[in-house]
């Protein structure tokens, strides 16, 4: 495993991070509801392969993911760097409507009171007295950046969080948050954004600003919710509410392009002795020198396979070839 520091902090995290959106289950991930035992085994596999960075959020299963992690972390909390989020809540206390799902209405609220309440709720659900990193889940223009930053930095002073970051944001948002910080901390240490070989544009637009501030770029969606793991995955059927039924790769014209890509990538996989998943993860690591791979792993075998991407050293020609074969099916804007 490789490691790096989060921004300019002294928090050391593995290059591969465990994403736990899927642990939340519900209608978004309709094929499997994780158990406490499975979650504990997953964390054990992470430790075995050197993965110490865990990401979750309150809205992943409306608390379910955080609660499962809290139980799995008992007795080994200090072995992991724990990251959760703020701004999306279902308390009905204000903010902007974000979505309704599974009987809950979720609002986006970055006011100071909401940020503090989000963190306090997460601390309780996960049974911990501090959170290493808190991400503003969706940057919101309706409330002052100074107010959000002020709340986060107060929480740092109180020892309840150690650093903070942004998600679903734009480079200008990073600029604004950085300009509002530096009172208690160095501000944003990580940005968590969608990025994959099928939709690389937003990430590439962001890299220069992230590099300017020595910010870790944490990519989610690098495996396209499973569609980049194997040709067989494209044959699976999902409920209409499931995230995997609502992205472009379920459409036949995209599927045809993906099947061609898998055929073209086979020789590269054989050359490096890796899976398709590890191949596209290795591709992502070539794109930015402070990359963090946030991968939704729900089984110990997924952790072992993902770790292999760090040993897959692609040549510049292989990187160019991989991109060329999917260029005609790349999507400019993809909001999940």
pTM score: 0.95
- CA proximity to 100, closest of 88, 87, 116, 112: 88
Listed in sequence order, the residues at least 6 apart from 294 whose beta carbon sits closer than 8 Å to its beta carbon are: 17, 18, 19, 55, 192, 218, 219, 220, 222
Share the mean pLDDT of the chain: 94
53 catalytic? Reply is no
Q: Are 141 and 170 in contact (CB under 8 A)?
A: no
Low-confidence residues of the chain: pLDDT under 70: 30, 182-185, 333-336
The pLDDT of residue 323: 97
The pLDDT of residue 281: 98
146: three-class secondary structure by DSSP = helix
CA distance 17 to 66: 16
The pLDDT of residue 251: 87
- Alpha helices, H only, 74-200: 112-126, 145-157, 171-180
Listed in sequence order, the residues at least 6 apart from 134 whose beta carbon sits closer than 8 Å to its beta carbon are: 83, 84, 85, 86, 119, 122, 152, 155, 161, 163, 164, 165
- CA 10 to chain centroid, in Å, comes to 21
The pLDDT of residue 332: 83
What are the angstrom distances between the C-alpha of 94 and each of 84, 89, 106, 254? 21, 9, 10, 40
The pLDDT of residue 280: 98
Listed in sequence order, the residues at least 6 apart from 225 whose beta carbon sits closer than 8 Å to its beta carbon are: 243, 244, 247, 296, 336
The pLDDT of residue 138: 96
The pLDDT of residue 22: 87
Active-site residue (options: 3, 53, 60, 164): 60
183: three-class secondary structure by DSSP = coil
- CATH class for the domain made up of 3-329: alpha beta
Beta carbons within 10 angstroms of residue 169's beta carbon? 22
Residue 100 sits at the vertex; the CA angle it makes with 98 and 103, to the nearest 5 degrees, is 145
Residue for token digits 């392009």?
257
Q: Which helix (H) or strand (E) holds 209?
A: helix 201-212
């Amino acid at each position: 495993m490789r490691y790096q520091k989060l921004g300019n902090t002294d928090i050391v995290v593995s290059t591969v991070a465990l994403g736990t959106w899927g642990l939340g289950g519900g209608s978004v991930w309709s094929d499997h509801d994780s158990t406490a035992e499975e979650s504990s085994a997953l964390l054990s596999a992470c430790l075995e392969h050197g993965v110490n960075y865990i990401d979750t959020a309150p809205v992943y299963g409306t608390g379910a993911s955080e609660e499962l992690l809290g139980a799995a972390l008992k007795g080994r909390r200090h072995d992991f760097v724990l990251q959760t989020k703020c701004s999306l809540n279902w308390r009905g206390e204000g903010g902007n409507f974000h979505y309704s799902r599974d009987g809950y209405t979720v609002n986006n609220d970055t006011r100071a009171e909401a940020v503090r309440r989000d963190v306090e709720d997460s601390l309780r659900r996960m049974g911990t007295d501090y959170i290493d990193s808190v991400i503003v889940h969706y940057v919101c223009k309706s409330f002052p950046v100074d107010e959000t930053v002020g709340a986060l930095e107060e929480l740092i002073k109180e020892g309840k969080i150690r650093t903070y970051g942004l998600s679903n944001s734009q480079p200008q948002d990073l600029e604004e948050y950085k300009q509002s910080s530096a009172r208690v901390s160095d501000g944003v240490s990580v940005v968590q954004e969608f990025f994959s070989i099928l939709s690389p544009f937003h990430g590439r637009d962001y890299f220069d600003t992230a590099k300017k501030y020595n910010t870790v770029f944490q990519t989610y969606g690098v495996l396209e919710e499973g569609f980049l793991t194997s040709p067989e995955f494209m044959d699976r059927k999902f409920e209409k509410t499931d995230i995997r039924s609502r992205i472009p790769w379920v459409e036949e014209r995209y599927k045809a392009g993906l099947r061609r890509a898998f055929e073209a990538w086979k020789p590269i996989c054989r050359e490096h002795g890796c899976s398709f998943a590890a191949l596209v993860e290795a591709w992502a690591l070539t794109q930015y020198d402070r990359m963090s791979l946030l991968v939704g792993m729900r089984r110990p075998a997924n952790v072992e396979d993902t770790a292999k991407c760090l040993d897959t050293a692609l040549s510049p020609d292989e990187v160019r070839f991989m991109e060329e074969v999917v260029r005609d099916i790349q999507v400019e804007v993809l909001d999940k």
